[in-house]
């Protein structure tokens, strides 16, 4: 395991009370370790896998915050990346506390649990490793936790194709989400996470582990407050036909984990959320009737759209194909469960 801790500069605010007494005659790095344990207000937890370049932009946005740098920490959990993510992080000059944790690939649920086990902050802020934030991000999340004692704070995730200046993107109708607890951009006090229990590590693949945690947090009676002033910006490059296989694989995986979610919480709400019902199966059959996109004609049509930069149409058909892969993932998992 690798671990990086970047203490604040010597110009940070002086020690107080018990810290000052305990720290007498101790080396400076030991003093900062004491402060790190006692003063931490927030921990930002970021699981990642093979997103080195985008993650660097995310971390730089978290270093450029209005909130005091010695009051929060950033924890990156590397879920077995193969792109030298660790080497990139070691070269960073972090003005705040930064931890880098590595594990063999176990999935985002296990990664978040690992991060939580090391977190010192009272409030845990979750974001994904491709979410860039504005300078008021931490301040806005924590302001709600100071105003409301028991609360889950969620904030918008705005999709953007503007990699150079993503924070200039305005929210669109397609960015709306009603998810109770989605770790793309949300926060909650660590004590409530411990009451709810860890992220379920049965979710070894992508998808639904955060919403499953949301079900358990909801049982604690925590309300949700939305802070629109703490958005995250999700960089998404334009889809090209070459991305279709990756997109379909991801959605098929999400279909399999949807069945895990439903088996753990077989409620009508989860059934509707995961689309595990006859209506969505029929809709999938209707949209994919004749498997037209997999025919010679369909493939040529997609190639034509890609070559002529018809991005909207291409994206529309690719999402239909990916949705079919999601339903296929559900069917695969249901069949496997019936055999067991």
Q: Among candidates 51, 101, 52, which has minimal Cα distance to 74?
A: 101
Average pLDDT for the chain: 87
Last residue of a domain, one of 215, 235, 255: 235
**pLDDT band (50, 70, 90) for residue 33:** very low
Per-residue pLDDT of 186-196, as tens digits, reads 999 999 999 99
Is pLDDT at 18 greater than 60 in this prediction?
Answer: no
- Quick check: 127 and 193 in contact, CB under 8 A? no
Alpha-carbon distance 33 to 36, whole Å?
A: 5
Residues 249 and 286 placed together within one structural domain of the fold: yes
**pLDDT band (50, 70, 90) for residue 20:** very low
Average pLDDT (39-48) is 94
Give the Cβ contact number of residue 51 at 10 Å.
18
Residues 116 and 261 placed together within one structural domain of the fold: no
Residues 249 and 214 placed together within one structural domain of the fold: no
Residues 226 and 319 placed together within one structural domain of the fold: no
Residues 255 and 132 placed together within one structural domain of the fold: no
Alpha-carbon distance 13 to 66, whole Å?
A: 15
Residues 44 and 129 placed together within one structural domain of the fold: yes
Alpha-carbon distance 157 to 104, whole Å?
A: 28
3 state DSSP class of 254: helix
Residues 168 and 75 placed together within one structural domain of the fold: yes
pLDDT at 4: 54
- Quick check: 222 and 149 in contact, CB under 8 A? no
Residue 12 forms part of a structural domain:
no
Residues 148 and 198 placed together within one structural domain of the fold: yes
Residues 228 and 249 placed together within one structural domain of the fold: no
pTM comes to: 0.85
pLDDT at 235: 86
Structure tokens at 235: 């960089």
Residues 117 and 133 placed together within one structural domain of the fold: yes
- Quick check: 117 and 43 in contact, CB under 8 A? no
Is pLDDT at 26 greater than 80 in this prediction?
Answer: no
What CATH number has the domain bearing residue 216?
3.90.550.10
Last residue of a domain, one of 235, 252, 276: 235
Residues 84 and 216 placed together within one structural domain of the fold: yes
Per DSSP, the residues of 157-222 read: EEEES-SSSGGGPPP-GGG----SS-TTEEEEEHHHHHHH----TT--SSSSHHHHHHHHHHTTT-
Contacts 24+ apart (CB under 8 A), 23-30: none
Residue 2 forms part of a structural domain:
no
Per-residue pLDDT of 262-293, as tens digits, reads 999 999 999 999 999 999 999 888 887 656 66
pLDDT at 336: 85
Per-residue pLDDT of 85-110, as tens digits, reads 999 999 999 999 999 999 999 999 99
Residue 1 forms part of a structural domain:
no
Residue 126 forms part of a structural domain:
yes
How many domains are contained in the chain? Answer: 2
Last residue of a domain, one of 235, 260, 294: 235
- At residue 133, φ and ψ (nearest 5 deg) are -125, 160
Is pLDDT at 36 greater than 90 in this prediction?
Answer: no
pLDDT at 261: 97
Average pLDDT (191-216) is 96
Residue 200 forms part of a structural domain:
yes
Alpha-carbon distance 327 to 33, whole Å?
A: 50
Is pLDDT at 303 greater than 70 in this prediction?
Answer: yes
Burial code of 293-305, b = ≥16 C-beta within 10 A, e = fewer? beeeeeeebbeeb
Residues 202 and 268 placed together within one structural domain of the fold: no
Alpha-carbon distance 240 to 244, whole Å?
A: 7
Domain coverage including residue 317: 241-339
């Amino acid at each position: 395991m690798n671990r990086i801790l970047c203490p604040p500069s010597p110009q940070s605010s002086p020690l107080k009370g018990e810290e000052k007494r305990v720290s007498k005659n101790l080396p400076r790095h030991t003093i900062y370790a004491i402060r790190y344990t006692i003063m931490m207000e927030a921990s930002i937890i970021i699981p990642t896998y093979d997103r080195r370049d985008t993650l660097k932009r995310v971390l730089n946005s978290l270093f450029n915050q209005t909130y005091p740098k010695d009051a929060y920490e950033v924890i990156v959990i590397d879920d077995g990346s193969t792109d030298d993510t660790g080497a990139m992080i070691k070269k960073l000059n972090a003005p705040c506390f930064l931890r880098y944790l590595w594990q063999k690939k176990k999935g985002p649920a296990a990664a978040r649990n690992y991060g939580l086990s090391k977190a010192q902050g009272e409030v845990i802020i979750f974001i994904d490793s491709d979410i860039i934030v504005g300078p008021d991000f931490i301040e806005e999340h924590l302001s709600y936790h100071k105003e409301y004692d028991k609360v889950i704070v969620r904030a918008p995730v705005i999709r953007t194709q503007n990699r150079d200046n993503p924070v200039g993107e305005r929210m669109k109708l397609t960015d709306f989400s009603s998810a109770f607890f989605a770790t793309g951009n949300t926060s909650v006090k660590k004590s409530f996470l411990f009451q709810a229990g860890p992220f379920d590590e049965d979710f070894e693949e992508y998808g639904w582990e955060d919403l499953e945690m949301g079900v358990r947090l909801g049982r604690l009676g925590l309300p949700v407050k939305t802070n629109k002033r703490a958005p995250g910006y999700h960089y998404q490059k334009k889809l090209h036909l070459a991305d279709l296989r990756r997109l379909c694989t991801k959605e098929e995986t999400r279909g399999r984990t949807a069945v895990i979610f439903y088996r753990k919480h077989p409620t009508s709400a989860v059934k509707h959320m995961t689309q595990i019902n006859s209506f969505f199966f029929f809709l999938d059959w209707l949209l994919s009737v004749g498997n037209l996109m997999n025919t010679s004609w369909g493939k040529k049509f997609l190639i034509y759209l890609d070559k002529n930069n018809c991005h909207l149409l291409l994206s529309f058909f690719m999402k239909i194909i990916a949705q079919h892969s999601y339903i296929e993932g559900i069917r695969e998992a249901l069949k496997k469960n019936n055999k067991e």
